[in-house]
Amino acid sequence: SQTIHQWPATLVQPVGSPLSLECTVEGTSNPNLYWYRQAAGRGLQLLFYSVGIGQISSEVPQNLSASRPQDRQFILSSKKLLLSDSGFYLCAWSVGWSGGAKNTEAFFGQGTRLTVV
């Protein structure tokens, strides 16, 4: 079965410090990968998505970057955190196709609660 791991679960970082959040998927190959940010109790804002190794699409200009060094690894980074980077970050994957039919269901990790102080 497929699983998604996202860590750490919570993180408190000072302003100006670097950031690295990691997400890995097991049990599938060539997944679509996504990073979302969610404000408290509200909707998800798509930050980055990737359809393959080294292929990153950015949705919102910001202080963050993403990388996909391996097929099932997706990393969210920042060189210098801002207070406005605080939030709940969610990694997700989708298979794209399964059993000959398009399957767009997204499977989410448990999220990382980032607080920038």
CB of 81 to another protein, least distance (A): 22
Q: Which residue has the tokens 């990694």?
A: 91
For the beta carbon of residue 19, count every other beta carbon within 10 angstroms. 21
Residues constituting the chain: 117
Judged by the rule CB under 8 A, the positions of this chain that interact with another protein are 32, 34, 36, 41-46, 49, 51, 57, 59, 90, 92, 94, 96-97, 102, 104-111, 113
Per the CB < 8 A criterion, the answer to whether 114 and 7 are in contact is: no
Closer residue to another protein, CB minimum distance, 53 or 106: 106
Closer residue to another protein, CB minimum distance, 14 or 42: 42
Query: 95: closest CA among 24, 28, 1, 27?
Result: 28
CB of 79 to another protein, least distance (A): 25
Closer residue to another protein, CB minimum distance, 19 or 91: 91
